[in-house]
Structure 1
């Protein structure tokens, strides 16, 4: 009986480790990684109030670096948890989709470690080879995030409990990722195209009503007025993304543990 009880506890501990692995990976990639990657592309011109820098660095860079640091920590923690569950042994090829999940997960972990390494040893912004780092950094991050979606999908297809609910939530998440990227891209393209026209029009109007102000001040105030709208729209979209990511992650985690 003691042996059976010990085996039962062992199986229960492994079940907990598997669920903990799934939980930290969901948090790391659905919340942290998605937000950090979006900030890198669409948050570069953002400012909070009149501030564009925080602790000597641009706000977008500080947010991007901090959130993706959390995503990397979650990824490594999840990897260690699943290694503990399988006693350090790799999934066998005969286990089909579970093996595919392990391979994709391994690639994601390698990408996360590679990103950290590149960030620590990146060249100076003025270096002639900076573009090599930029493209490698972007490609590695995009590949890791792109693989995260099918990696989660593959394993929930084999989930024994609450499979239908898990698939529905992941389908909604996949659709939302496409929607938020399209929305942010539309905002970016729309305001970048209309910027010269709108800027010149607002400048002329502002000069007519404020002709006594110095030209430099007029241009600065006009630019601030013009940039406020896209800045606020992008901030709002980022806020909505965080709400959606958290709102979908919570029921997903609840179903994982039930």
Structure 2
């Protein structure tokens, strides 16, 4: 196996890992937290399950598959050996990457054997699933940062792209959190305005302006969909730019 072929395995490793964690993992995390009430038109279900869950599951599965594929590529490149501790940043990258791979495998295993949503112990699975996913995702960013500092060519460009990516993640999370606060306050105010004065009269049905309420929720739903679309576009654009620099 020639040096050029070995280099291709390294580039293939970087490519699938970037696709996995910059595009699919980030989308899976964002949909799990902020996409649970989204609707496409009048539909909130796809093939019998909530739309957010279908997208989350699809992206999470692709993340795991691509992560394992990337791990296979680097194992082939290294002939099944582990990076030596004397290799500094390369060794740190391998440790962080190993943790990310283990988290991805644990996530897949937990998803396959998760208990029923109504189970008494479902909360244990929910918290383990969240914590493992968050650990893997947040470790993936420094893992990529560390390895790109070892490149002799295009290092500055890679750092700039990954810095933009990190800033984008912070920005979109802040925007989503602000929207959550506004939607929560809006819903709370609507409930107090419409139901509060009449809660003591159980025989009288409160007057509800369903049309205005639906229009308000549609307004927020459309904003959230636009943000998700924008995130996907930004993710793909920055991921492709980073992949191009890796292969260049």
Provide the residue aligned with 1:236 in structure 2.
Answer: 226
Indicate which of 135, 143, 146 corresponds to 2:127: 135
The superposition leaves residues 99-152 of structure 1 with CA deviations (integer Å, 9 ceiling, x where unpaired) of 000011010000000001000111111111111000000000000000000000
Partner Cα separation in structure 2 for residue 175 and residue 243 of structure 1? 15
**TM-score, structure 1 normalization:** 0.89
Provide the residue aligned with 1:59 in structure 2.
Answer: 51
The Cα shift of 1:163 comes to 0.4
Aligned residue pair count? 239
The superposition leaves residues 149-203 of structure 1 with CA deviations (integer Å, 9 ceiling, x where unpaired) of 00000000111110000001011101001001000011011111121224565x6
Partner Cα separation in structure 2 for residue 59 and residue 227 of structure 1? 17
Note if contact 1:199-1:223 (Cα within 8 Å) is conserved in structure 2.
no
In the alignment, structure 1 segments of 5+ residues that lack a partner are 1-8, 205-214
Partner Cα separation in structure 1 for residue 212 and residue 57 of structure 2? 32
User: Is 1:186 paired with 2:178?
Assistant: yes
The Cα shift of 1:224 comes to 2.0
Indicate which of 202, 221, 226 corresponds to 2:216: 226
Provide the residue aligned with 1:70 in structure 2.
Answer: 62
Partner Cα separation in structure 2 for residue 51 and residue 220 of structure 1? 18
Provide the residue aligned with 2:199 in structure 1.
Answer: none
Provide the residue aligned with 1:174 in structure 2.
Answer: 166
Which aligned pairs between 1:242-257 and structure 2 lie closer than 5 A? Answer: 242-257=232-247
**TM-score, structure 2 normalization:** 0.92
Provide the residue aligned with 1:37 in structure 2.
Answer: 29
User: Is 1:116 paired with 2:101?
Assistant: no
In the alignment, structure 2 segments of 5+ residues that lack a partner are 196-204
Partner Cα separation in structure 2 for residue 246 and residue 88 of structure 1? 31
Provide the residue aligned with 1:90 in structure 2.
Answer: 82
Q: CA 1:80–1:52 in 2, change beyond 3 Å: closer, same or farther?
A: same
The superposition leaves residues 40-98 of structure 1 with CA deviations (integer Å, 9 ceiling, x where unpaired) of 00000001001011111000000000011111111010000000000000001110110
Provide the residue aligned with 1:209 in structure 2.
Answer: none
Provide the residue aligned with 1:160 in structure 2.
Answer: 152
Partner Cα separation in structure 1 for residue 186 and residue 33 of structure 2? 19
The Cα shift of 1:223 comes to 3.5
Partner Cα separation in structure 2 for residue 27 and residue 125 of structure 1? 31
